[in-house]
Amino acid sequence: MLGAHRVSTDPDPREEVTLDPADWADFRRLAHRMVEDMVDHLATLRSRPVWQPMPNEVRDSFDQPVPMKGQGAEAAYRAFATNVMPYPNGNLHPGYFGWVQGTGTPLSMMADMLAAGLNPHMGGHDQAPVLVEKQVISWLVQLMGLPAGASGLLVLGGSMANILGLAVARSSQAGFDLRQDGLWGAKARMMIYASSETHGWIGKAIELLGFGHASLRHVPVGPDYRMSVRALKEQIQADRASGLQPICVVGNAGTVNTGATDDLRQLARVCRDEGLWFHVDGAFGALARLSERLRETVNGIEEADSLAFDLHKWMYQPFDVGCLLVRDGDAHRAAFARSTSYLRSMARGVMAGGLPFADLGVDLTRGFRALKVWMSLKAHGVETFGRLIEQNVDQAQYLARRVAAHPQLQLLAPAPLNVVCFRFAPGRMEEAALNRLNEELLFRLQESGVAVPSSTALAGRFALRCAIVNHRSVRADLDRLVEAAVAIGRQLVHESHGSRAREAG
């Protein structure tokens, strides 16, 4: 029936094409080759350098115009195998301890293939993949010790999990019509408290959410790099006295610099007493709860109102998958749930059950990142993850002991978890010279391909920093790191003596 709307006349129809392969057998052969090559890559990591710079011809290969004509799947794969696969970041390698990057696992690599193949739309709907994510969330709620009414969402990563956590905090604490009026509806500036050791996400979060840095108090830490609870309380009182509106305290479970964990029990108590939201950034530290032995390290995490952590760090999953859990599921939904006409929840059909995930965050279309977590927990079991996390902590303690026992190495911070900060310190050198020496040592170590630590600055001192979240590393890898660091350090001292001698001569 012709409505008011004109429709075009029929053009001469062309043959209909598809992105499915013309020959499935060909495609199967290529797919199997990709699997073989990638398994070869993973099974032989140890025989290659941790990291290597790219030759110029590889670098130049990424400087071509957009391909108008297709070259076929084989050629596309060849380009990957030749120019990409040999030059990654290095984080899979047993000798990689830089930043807190995680490794991925062979099983989860295949789970990501299955997820991309099945490719369900993870806003919601009546489908099994939604039940997979719901089950993963319920497992994580249980593992983190939150109550049954807690809700959760898998997100791209820890930054987004933390940002959404603060958004729930803001929504719950507002006391005015935040959704309608925005921050301009507030009677006073809202204030957030986090230790000075908090990861850089906090800056991104307070900017994105519209608070600005004036809303963030960097509470000082003690020599153990844990938030001073006294300073926190004083700051809250001072801010209230100035007419500001404290809304949220951010606790750290495993800081990025040193692995320190704030006294979460005490922070929870302060929040209860002050009527504030208690958010915990447990990026990697939260996973210590998977080990009975280490659980006490993050005591109090189960008292969080919201908790953010990554599964692509200390649960060894491939990028990207983070998680936000919220103690009060209703508060979580109240912060985000909306409805629009083309997304109505329906009583029956595909759309039954509505959009449980879209209602807990900002993304509507989401991938099936739950699958790898679900299959990993089923395949390996919580106990295996707990044991691996203990193993990484034991390795860090081993490294700390080797550093402490070595006359030319110096431990620069406590190593309560899996992060070890140290430097080469041959004695009788000024701080500035030590910093220069250790920076050059870091470059040469990375360039050697033997080991990749990263660095940080602790009280002005340049530190080599190892964060061990690698299921492939063994103690022998840490031995190689220590020996290479000392050898390069001595070589640098030797070179510097040589150059001083030349200058003097």
Residues 273-332 that bind a second copy (CB under 8 A): 310, 312-313, 316, 318-320
Interaction between residue 226 and a second copy (CB under 8 A)? no
- With a CB cutoff of 8 Å and minimum separation 6, the contacts of 334 are 171, 172
Q: Which of residues 150, 191, 249, 256 is near a second copy by CB under 8 A?
A: 256
* Six-digit token string for 241: 């006295």
11: contact with a second copy by CB under 8 A: yes
Among 230, 237, 431, 443, indicate the residue that binds a second copy (CB under 8 A).
443
Which range of residues in 324-332, 440-448, 480-488, 490-498 is near a second copy by CB under 8 A?
A: 440-448
Pure H helices in 299-343:
329-336
Which stretch in 102-110, 235-243, 264-272, 295-303 sits in contact with a second copy by CB under 8 A?
A: 102-110
Contact 143, 314 (CB under 8 A): no
Question: Which residues does 256 contact at the CB level (< 8 Å), separation at least 6?
Answer: 99, 100, 197, 199, 283, 419, 467
Question: CA-CA distance, 286 to 298, in Å (whole number)?
Answer: 7
Q: Smallest gap, in angstroms, from Cβ of residue 128 to a second copy?
A: 4
Q: Using CA atoms, how far apart are residues 195 and 206, in angstroms rounded to an integer? A: 14
- Among 472, 486, 487, 490, indicate the residue that binds a second copy (CB under 8 A): 472
Q: From the list 93, 279, 327, 372, which residue makes contact with a second copy (rule: CB under 8 A)?
A: 372
Please select the residue that binds a second copy; options are 48, 73, 328, 490, rule is CB under 8 A. 73
* Binding of residue 10 to a second copy (CB under 8 A): yes
User: Strand, coil or helix: what is 153?
Assistant: strand
Is residue 381 a contact point for a second copy (CB under 8 A)? yes
Which one of 100-108, 228-236, 274-282, 488-496 is the stretch in contact with a second copy (CB under 8 A)?
Answer: 100-108
Q: How many residues bind a second copy, per CB under 8 A?
A: 216
Residues 193-222, interacting with a second copy (CB under 8 A): 199-201, 203-215
> Which residue lies nearer to a second copy by CB, 187 or 502?
187
Q: Are strands 409-411 and 419-424 parallel, antiparallel or unpaired?
A: antiparallel
User: DSSP alpha helices (H): ranges in 84-127?
Assistant: 106-118
Is 115 among the residues that bind a second copy (CB under 8 A)?
A: yes
Minimum CB–partner distance for residue 485 and a second copy (Å): 13
Nearer to a second copy, 327 or 369 (CB): 369
Does 128 participate in binding a second copy (rule CB under 8 A)?
yes
Choose, by CB under 8 A, the member of 229, 231, 334, 382 that binds a second copy. 382
Residues 261 and 280 sit within 8 Å (Cβ to Cβ) = no
**Sheet architecture: strand order including 277-281:** 151-155, 322-326, 306-310, 277-281, 245-252, 190-195, 216-219
Applying CB under 8 A, among 18, 56, 275, 504 the residue interacting with a second copy is: 18
The pair phi, psi for residue 352, each rounded to 5°, is -60, 140
Taking CB under 8 A as the criterion, the residue among 57, 241, 275, 341 binding a second copy is 341
Report in angstroms the alpha-carbon separations of 355 from 130, 252, 337.
Answer: 10, 31, 9
Among the listed ranges 123-131, 246-254, 272-280, 325-333, the one in contact with a second copy (CB under 8 A) is 123-131
Cα 49 to Cα 447: distance, rounded to the nearest angstrom? 9
| Site map (CB under 8 A) of a second copy, residues 77-96, x = contact | x-xx--xxxxxxxxxx----
Alpha helices in 44-127 (DSSP H): 56-60, 73-83, 106-118
Query: Segment near a second copy (CB under 8 A), from 264-272, 371-379, 428-436, 484-492?
Result: 371-379
**Nearest to 218, CA basis, from 204, 203, 205, 208:** 203
Applying CB under 8 A, which of residues 153, 232, 388, 492 lies at the interface with a second copy? Answer: 388
Phi, psi torsion values for 214, nearest 5 degrees: -65, -15
Sequence-ordered strand ranges (E) for 318-372:
322-326
Among 41, 240, 333, 490, binds a second copy (CB under 8 A): 41
Q: Is 403 in the site for a second copy (CB under 8 A)?
A: yes
